[in-house]
Structure 1
């Protein structure tokens, strides 16, 4: 029984490593350039693991990687501190700045990657968009809850949360193009300017 449990754990660990490698590849290279060869090289998994864990091929791996990345980000947003809406926004901007810096250095968002880069090469683009939409909605929902808890009206909180995520996702693209976090810093300052000092 111990051997079986160990085998299951090792199999789950292999799949987890492959998904983690796929997230990194999506962030750095996008969906079109993500290959199983690179996933295997980065995860250390054997070639036979591909269709054992991902019988749906690249489509399934991309979906699972985007879903996990979305869940990880939502968990991170859940942990943001904030007694006031301004605290929430400042904590958010501070926490995502290193991620945006990675974009300026050539990275990106794994969730966005499944919707904007190479989706036509896969059979079911609708599933890719659905996973991304669900992920983004989860992030907006998490921030909306935090802002509401901090005293903002639900409608204003939802609008601001959406603006925060749009700022982040837009910054990935603009900062990568500019090779600098300057576009993010400008957007962050504008975002904070929408908040009265009392919020």
Structure 2
């Protein structure tokens, strides 16, 4: 007599390995913090200032993406009232230990999530390129060319948005591969 498995039941070892253990490993890294990074244009200074506004905390990456997307599409940035001229530039999701889970550029009320790096070698290349861009921005600031310096810093920060913590890389890649609801 041969036993056949029914489609609805899984062995306890498979449940432990695929469902419970990954959840336990990620628990110390929760909650996830969602924030918006942007610039303010204060009247008393001649250069815009970078600011980070907290949008909230959630317990899973897909909830964090929804929270960020909702805040961006509604232009609802808590605390922005106290910051005159706040212009959000990046949406950022970080874990409890400040490891980057996912980040994306904010354009026209939507978030363009940046794909995570696939390897440590790719991360090193991105760090090198972002450092080069920041060096060029520093030189442009020294020449008094603030517009070029700002554009170079924006390019560097978009590259750095791909530097997802190794723990979250597979999760972030999986989230970005899922079709988004309209």
* Same-fold status (TM-score > 0.5): no
Higher normalized helix content (fraction of residues): 1
Q: Which has the higher strand share?
A: 2
Structure 2 length-normalised TM = 0.30
TM-score (norm 1): 0.28
Q: Higher relative contact order by CA 8 Å / sep ≥ 6: 1 or 2?
A: 1
